[in-house]
Amino acid sequence: MDRYRGHVVLVVNVASRCGLTPQYAGLETLHEKYADRGFTVLGVPCNQFGGQEPGTAADIEDFCQVNYGVTFPLTEKVDVNGAGRHPLYTALVGDGPDIQWNFEKFLVGPDGAVAGRYGPQTEPEDGEFVAAVEKLLPR
């Protein structure tokens, strides 16, 4: 996350075969709308929930670009829970509960601290969610 220091980052564990996969469209819209103000979405593919992200990194990237026009960065596939939890998720989750499902969202402020955690059902277009993003961005 050091490369994003000073930026507002929305970290989302993603999957391409999930009922919530259409959230990619809203995530891309947010990314495009606020990128020039120091905002980015960081998609983190994970196959821990129902095996809904089985592809390779290249498969996942192609799927996202072809189906949703995704331009925001995607990481390699990682584990977000358990003994193999990626260090990024260890930092994000802290003492909180494990990730429950795909498309759980962490809003990270420019100082690198978690400013909010949002469940999978929170849509990227949700008014309160967008207001939380805007509050962290420079005017």
Sheet (strand 8-14) strand order: 39-45, 8-14, 105-108, 114-118
Please give the radius of gyration of the chain, using alpha carbons only, rounded to the nearest integer. Answer: 14
CA pair distance 53, 106, nearest whole angstrom: 19
Asked about 18 being catalytic, the answer comes back as yes
> Residue 105: beta bridge partners?
12, 118
Catalytic residue selected from 18, 35, 78, 130 = 18
Catalytic residue positions, numbered: 18
